[in-house]
Structure formats: C-alpha cells, structure tokens
Amino acid sequence: MFRHALQVDRRPSVPRRIAPSRAVHACAPSDPISATAPVPSAALTATSAAEPASTRRIPAKRWFSTGLVSALALAVTLAFTGCVPSHNPGARALNVAMTQLGKPYIAGAAGPYGYDCSGLVQYSFARAGRSLPRVATAQYYATQHIPVSGARPGDLIFFGTPAFLYHVAIYAGNGNIVVAPHTGTVIQVERLWTWSVYVGRVR
C-alpha cells in the first residue's frame, strides 16, 4: 500500500484591503426649497391644492421602503455633516422631532407617546425652548412669515389658507418634512408633495 500525504498550503493569508469611503462634510449655509424644485410664483397666495391630510393614506409597505430610507438618510446627514446648526430654535426642534420618528399618530395628542401634526410641532419647539400655541393656524400667526424660496431646516410648513391652516410639518431640508400625517401612520419623513404652502419661522 502507498501512503499519500496531503499537502496543505501554509502560506499566510493576506487580508483584503478595503478603501475607506470618502465622506463629504460640506453643505450650503442655507437650504432653500427652490434649490430642489421650482416654486410657483403664486405659492404664497394660492390656496393649497393638496389633498387634506385626513384623506391621504400611505400604505405601510410604501412607508417602510421610502419613508424609513429617507429618515435614515436624513439622520446620517444631520449626524455627520453638521448641516443643521443647533444655535437656532428651529434646528433644535428639528433634532427633537427626529427622535420621535416611529411613534404613532394620535388625534389631539401632543406627546410624548403619540402626536397629531400640530402636537408634534408644539412638543418639539417646547423641548427647544420655545412656546407655541396648540393648533396649526395659531402656530402660523406666532411665527415670522418667510417666502417659500427662503425656507430652511427647522422652519414650519403650513397647508391650507391663512384663515384655516389644516396641517403643519417641520421642514427638514432637501424637500423633506418631518410630519405626523394622519390616523394609522407614524411620525415620519416625507417628501413635500406641494409647493402651495406657507412658511413660518420661530425666533
């Protein structure tokens, strides 16, 4: 009989070298909505053509595939680029609102376990050191009114008419808003779906 010796390759393995990713840490000093999409010239005077929030329905699968990805991307941007300074109340309120993602929409609630749209705004700004009224229309008249083209992260986005503003959200930059949409959804990041809005800034 013949003995067959197994030859084992004893050369030391060489770990793969992975090139480090190139992170970009530069951002513009402001983030006007006009940088992401054209804004109609009559945006500040036209009545909102948006479908009322109470009738909009966002399927859970769609939110998971789009809203969650947007939220994660926005969180990474806020954490690593420093594009949202903390020296103004709007920026601080936006940071607070981002920590509430995933909590349920509850009509009439103002936190901390659930919110409606104006409740989320009131809670976020209270934690940022600013007191706001409870409902959207009153919140609008408690802010400095800003042209749509001048909106920056932390500003408030109002839907409706000055006489009756039925919905409000916090602008997060790059055409995104942090919002409590309607019953059956959660606090989430959405794309701004209309430019017929009003913008308010909390000083």
Residue 135 belongs to a domain: yes
Residue 195 belongs to a domain: yes
Query: Could you tell me the residue range of the domain that residue 146 belongs to?
Result: 50-78+85-201
Instruction: Report the percentage of the chain scoring pLDDT > 90.
Output: 57
Residue 109 belongs to a domain: yes
Question: How confident is residue 53, by pLDDT bands cut at 50, 70 and 90?
Answer: very low
Q: Which residue has the higher pLDDT, 97 or 83?
A: 97
Residue 21 belongs to a domain: no
The torsion angles phi and psi of 42, rounded to 5 degrees, stand at: -95, 20
Task: Find the angle CA(53)-CA(57)-CA(60) to the nearest 5 degrees.
Answer: 130
2-46 pLDDT, tens digit per residue, is 444 444 445 444 444 434 333 333 333 345 554 444 443 333 333
- The predicted pLDDT at position 36 comes to 43
174-191 pLDDT, tens digit per residue, is 999 999 999 999 999 999
Q: Which residue has the higher pLDDT, 158 or 64?
A: 158
Residue 4 belongs to a domain: no
Residue 197 has pLDDT above 70, yes or no: yes
Residue 108 belongs to a domain: yes
97-127 pLDDT, tens digit per residue, is 999 999 999 999 999 999 999 999 999 999 9
Q: Which residue has the higher pLDDT, 87 or 86?
A: 87
pTM exceeds 0.75: no
Structural domain count, the chain = 1
Average pLDDT of the segment spanning 166-180: 98
Distance CA 78, CA 36 (A): 18
Q: Which residue has the higher pLDDT, 47 or 60?
A: 60
For position 118, which CATH number holds?
A: 3.90.1720.10
Residue 10 belongs to a domain: no
Looking at the DSSP assignment, which residues form a beta bridge with residue 160? 165
SS3 state of residue 94: helix
- The predicted pLDDT at position 184 comes to 97
Cβ(170)–Cβ(154) below 8 Å: yes
- Tokens coding 66: 């789009």
Distance CA 116, CA 99 (A): 16
- The predicted pLDDT at position 87 comes to 76
Q: Which residue has the higher pLDDT, 76 or 71?
A: 71
Average pLDDT of the segment spanning 190-200: 96
Residue 114 belongs to a domain: yes
